Structure 1
Amino acid sequence: MKKKKYEEEEHHPGHASFGMSVFNLSNAIMGSGILGLSFAMANTGIILFVILLLGVAVLSLYSVHLLLVTAKEGGSLIYEKLGERAFGWPGKMAAFGSITLQNIGAMSSYLFIVKYELPEVIRAFLGLEENSGEWYLNGNYAVVLVSIGIILPLSLLKNLGYLGYTSGFSLSCMVFFLGVVRFSSFAHESNMSVNGSEALGLYSLQNASALAYISEDMCTPKYFVFNSQTAYTIPILAFAFVCHPEVLPIYSELKDRSRRKMQKVSNLSILAMLVMYLLSALFGYLTFYDHVEAELLHTFTKVYKFDTMLLLVRLAVLTAVTLTVPIVLFPIRSSVITLCFAGKEFSWIRHILIAAAILAFNNLLVIFVPTIRDIFGFIGSSAATMLIFILPAAFYLRLVKSLPFRSPQKISVSIDAFLFYSILFYSILFYSSVLGRLHSNCGPLLNSVENFNL
């Protein structure tokens, strides 16, 4: 009876091809987090970063597997309904809250990139040395215009599968970004080999401003690094791999869907993003080493303010994050409809108004709250760990009745999820409560101790 009801309610025929589903899921995984991975590598070292990256990718893929199994056993392709069938109203609200916080945080980070980068791109195109105060150089106007002109129309599409084309183009923009980062790293290595102790730039030997960032004694890669920022690497990586709110909507629209086919979509998407993340982090780190900033694009901007290639890279990143916002908006709207309008027929008016309200709310956050990226960075990381590790494991333990509770599979699931969660928040609390006070009370002494590099 449950299976029949499941097929009638949620197993409507899908129309998205395998390739389009891979594009959409890959685009959901990839986001602004890719710009912070070089900074994460600089604070962990190459080998430790690779170990952590592979670990989080494997756990993320495993949790997708758990989510797909749970969806079959629980009889729903909607995250909130799985929560409701597992734990009642608290489970439904936990899923709704995690999805909403995670995706609003992600949308805010993307819109912040639009707010701060688009005016700079326009200024560079116009050849202006400084912001002259025109309205089109105001980031607040820029983010509103992009939201109304590009993001909102794409968000009004009825099905997520239609965004496969824009997702493919977004991914190609990030591949271009990766290529430029690789080229800059190669150019830097060539300049170092030609000039010995002088590295005068990434693209030419005439850019002396790079000397402020690069010198031979600082161009030695480190393999293990432990400092006050190392504890934040796991939240950064967890945020970079979160795609679970989009997994079930993409699964529901997959043509000739099956759990095995969706698992292949997930495997290919996560593997592709794993390779892209690793290469981007490695080449960015080998370009700037310890001087890489929390956002890689800002580091390039400080060294090459009017470089043509950099301008194209900034435009590519802007395009990529702009086209990712509609993908992230779909699960929020689905959550709101599931929570407030469950059982009602599809309505275009409701569909449009909810999308407009979500986008307007994010615009207000980006415009009026200057530190929203830091706030939602923490909230997003917390929600990401809930969506990747805690909720799929908890739903699996509750809904999969074919295995006894003390079976090796269920014991393994519970240990993996809660152990990861404990380590994550212990790391954050340790930094905030201990190292933060050490910084304020004995900063000069700590500076000589906290950078233990091998």
Structure 2
Amino acid sequence: MVQTNGVPGIATKRSGVINLMNTILGAGLLSVPYAIKCNGLFLGVVFVLFSALTSGLGLYLLAVASTYSIPGHASFFSLSKLTVPQLGIVFDLAIAVKCFGVGCSYLIVIGDLMPQIMSSIVSNENLEHYPLLSSRTMWITLFVVAILPLVYKRKLDSLKTASLVALSSVGYLVILVVVHFAHIWTGGKEDIVRGPIHYFQPDSIISLLSSFPILVFGFTCHQNQLGIINELKDRSLANIGEMNFISIGSACILYLVVGLSGYLTFGDNVVGNIITMYPNSVSSTIGRIAIVILVALSYPLQSNPARASINHVAYYINDSDLAKSIRSYSRSSTTSSAITTEERRNLVAQSPTPNGSVLIDDSIVMEEEENEHYVELTNKKLLIITTIIVILSYLVAITVKSLAHVLAIVGSTGSTSISFILPGFFAYKLIGSGNVSLSTKDLVLKYSGLALAIWGFVVMIICLSATLFLGATH
């Protein structure tokens, strides 16, 4: 396994944890009580824990795979060039579409919630005099303009302050759900109707399958994992593993707290967005505002990986020598004398090769690899691609009121690929690619990758079927 850190970044583990957690903890946090209701309390908890485990494994395998790429330039693009370059455009296109769709859904949430918030704050008489306060288009426009400076940021590390504010909104939502639960279960009276509670029995097989995507994709943050790794000051696997464990573990605890508190509060009457079930009050209104802040500040964390993937897709389309490079790669990978990435990096500079020739200096090898596996995102391309993403997502958000079904289909394919299939596949293909003797740990990681990739295909089939035939969303 390659263990080289290259030129270190400036980001800390703390900023990585903050950005990963903000990517995980979107508005989907409010759907967890409904998912537990569909599965029954015991099975719902098991599914939350299992989803956290599989997503955590995917994050760690991505970290392992990143060590085979150019230090500081790891991406799904570079890893696909090292494994199956022919499918690289498919991988990046899936990531771009998935992240773009989620970003659109965030803007739609803002457009749906802000008029509701205004109706609870402003009197009906004032709303009649100022109809713009109830205009979803106006609110979407305002928030898009407000977050533009964050959307054009190049580095994920520069978004850590915004992510911290967003996580504060998550903290308020958690407190809101827990306080209501504690108040009711200690004998307090509230204007709600609680349904029956099922501890072990799911509603039905259909409800179990239809809620499956909510928990399976509840921990998706893998699209930002490689970008965060590139910016880390310490890129050691131990540091990255600790960062991932804190992120996934903390998110898992919050999911369980909100899921159990929300379900035990409303029982089988709970719906997909628990915040809508609380009576109108100052605390509920603040909760809705917290959701708006959360999704608004999460939008840049979706546009950033979408921009990188679109940059790679543009490279595939515009590069006239792509077919030649693919054929060259295919020929070299099938010859016994080919030198793999791992072998080249482990050989000492100026050491003789088996055929008697001499390797060029390792720095030159690294430079050639960087040119081959890294596509620069210039300031001009950053400006153009980001502007296109913002304009298109804005147009979608003001014209479409529900992307649920489309997002469920995209998520069933894109999220599955990002979270399970690609991390598992990359790890399985790259670990041991230098024909070296593998340790027990490396063998476990290699075949864990294979198992995760297979699990990803199973999840894709189940979730697509639930979406297409049962109307499931996530």
2:75 corresponds to which letter in structure 1? Answer: I
Q: Separation in 2 of the partners of 1:403 and 1:308?
A: 63
Task: Indicate the residue corresponding to 2:393 in structure 1.
Answer: 362
Does 1:140 pair with 2:137? yes
CA spacing shift, 1:224–1:101, aligned 2, 3 Å: farther
Q: Separation in 1 of the partners of 2:271 and 2:288?
A: 16
| 2:283 aligned to which of 309, 318, 323 | 309
TM-score (norm 2): 0.79
How far did residue 158 of structure 1 move? 2.6
Give runs of aligned pairs for residues 116-131 of structure 1, distance below 5 A: 116-128=112-124
Q: Separation in 2 of the partners of 1:130 and 1:407?
A: 67
2:412 corresponds to which letter in structure 1? Answer: S
Does 1:378 pair with 2:409? yes
CA spacing shift, 1:223–1:105, aligned 2, 3 Å: farther
SS of the residue corresponding to residue 73 of structure 1 reads coil
Are 1:105 and 1:373, in contact at CA under 8 Å, matched by a contact in 2? Answer: no
Give runs of aligned pairs for residues 197-212 of structure 1, distance below 5 A: 201=190, 207=191, 210=192
1:85 corresponds to which letter in structure 2? Answer: L
TM-score (norm 1): 0.82
Q: Separation in 1 of the partners of 2:411 and 2:243?
A: 24
- Percent identity over paired residues: 24
Does 1:107 pair with 2:85? no
Task: Indicate the residue corresponding to 1:22 in structure 2.
Answer: 17
Q: What 5-or-longer segments of structure 1 have no aligned partner?
A: 193-199, 202-206, 437-454
How far did residue 349 of structure 1 move? 3.3
Does 1:347 pair with 2:378? yes
Q: Separation in 1 of the partners of 2:397 and 2:25?
A: 21
Task: Indicate the residue corresponding to 2:163 in structure 1.
Answer: 167
| 1:230 aligned to which of 191, 200, 208 | 208
| 1:82 aligned to which of 55, 66, 79 | 79
How far did residue 427 of structure 1 move? 6.2
Does 1:65 pair with 2:49? no
Q: Separation in 1 of the partners of 2:27 and 2:412?
A: 13
| 1:253 aligned to which of 231, 241, 245 | 231
How far did residue 275 of structure 1 move? 0.5
How far did residue 144 of structure 1 move? 1.7
Q: Separation in 2 of the partners of 1:366 and 1:423?
A: 29
Q: Separation in 1 of the partners of 2:377 and 2:65?
A: 26
1:48-69 CA-to-partner distances (Å, cap 9, x unmatched) read 0111111111111111111111
CA spacing shift, 1:352–1:403, aligned 2, 3 Å: farther
2:277 corresponds to which letter in structure 1? Answer: T
How far did residue 43 of structure 1 move? 0.4
How far did residue 327 of structure 1 move? 1.3
SS of the residue corresponding to residue 312 of structure 1 reads helix
Does 1:95 pair with 2:91? yes
1:15-68 CA-to-partner distances (Å, cap 9, x unmatched) read 112211111111111112111111101100111011111111111111111111
How far did residue 431 of structure 1 move? 8.1
SS of the residue corresponding to residue 14 of structure 1 reads coil
Q: Separation in 2 of the partners of 1:148 and 1:298?
A: 27
SS of the residue corresponding to residue 149 of structure 2 reads helix
How far did residue 416 of structure 1 move? 3.6
| 1:425 aligned to which of 461, 464, 474 | 461
Task: Indicate the residue corresponding to 2:358 in structure 1.
Answer: none
Task: Indicate the residue corresponding to 2:318 in structure 1.
Answer: none
Are 1:102 and 1:381, in contact at CA under 8 Å, matched by a contact in 2? Answer: no
How far did residue 231 of structure 1 move? 0.4
1:44-98 CA-to-partner distances (Å, cap 9, x unmatched) read 01110111111111111111111111111244511112112210131x1232122
How far did residue 428 of structure 1 move? 5.0
Q: Separation in 1 of the partners of 2:127 and 2:437?
A: 63
Give runs of aligned pairs for residues 280-319 of structure 1, distance below 5 A: 280-300=258-278, 304-305=279-280, 307-319=281-293
Task: Indicate the residue corresponding to 1:266 in structure 2.
Answer: 244
Say how many residue pairs are matched.
404
Task: Indicate the residue corresponding to 1:189 in structure 2.
Answer: 185
Worse overlay, 132-141 or 359-368: 132-141
1:328-366 CA-to-partner distances (Å, cap 9, x unmatched) read 111111112233258675533332222121121112222
Q: Separation in 1 of the partners of 2:144 and 2:121?
A: 21
2:264 corresponds to which letter in structure 1? Answer: L
CA spacing shift, 1:187–1:96, aligned 2, 3 Å: same
| 2:302 aligned to which of 309, 318, 328 | 328
| 1:45 aligned to which of 31, 40, 44 | 40
Worse overlay, 24-33 or 339-348: 339-348
Are 1:152 and 1:355, in contact at CA under 8 Å, matched by a contact in 2? Answer: no
* Bigger radius of gyration among the two: 2
1:391 corresponds to which letter in structure 2? Answer: L
CA spacing shift, 1:320–1:410, aligned 2, 3 Å: same
Q: Separation in 1 of the partners of 2:201 and 2:452?
A: 25
Q: Separation in 2 of the partners of 1:3 and 1:47?
A: 42
1:352-400 CA-to-partner distances (Å, cap 9, x unmatched) read 2221211211122222223312211231132111111111111122222
Q: Separation in 2 of the partners of 1:147 and 1:320?
A: 14
Are 1:74 and 1:82, in contact at CA under 8 Å, matched by a contact in 2? Answer: yes
Q: Separation in 2 of the partners of 1:67 and 1:44?
A: 30
1:119-169 CA-to-partner distances (Å, cap 9, x unmatched) read 2212322133896471231112211220112x2111112321011111111
Q: Separation in 1 of the partners of 2:271 and 2:466?
A: 23
Are 1:103 and 1:380, in contact at CA under 8 Å, matched by a contact in 2? Answer: no
Task: Indicate the residue corresponding to 2:176 in structure 1.
Answer: 180
How far did residue 230 of structure 1 move? 0.8
Task: Indicate the residue corresponding to 1:399 in structure 2.
Answer: 430
Are 2:40 and 2:200, in contact at CA under 8 Å, matched by a contact in 1? Answer: yes
1:243-265 CA-to-partner distances (Å, cap 9, x unmatched) read 11100101111123322211111
Q: What 5-or-longer segments of structure 2 have no aligned partner?
A: 316-370
Aligned-residue RMSD, C-alpha: 2.7
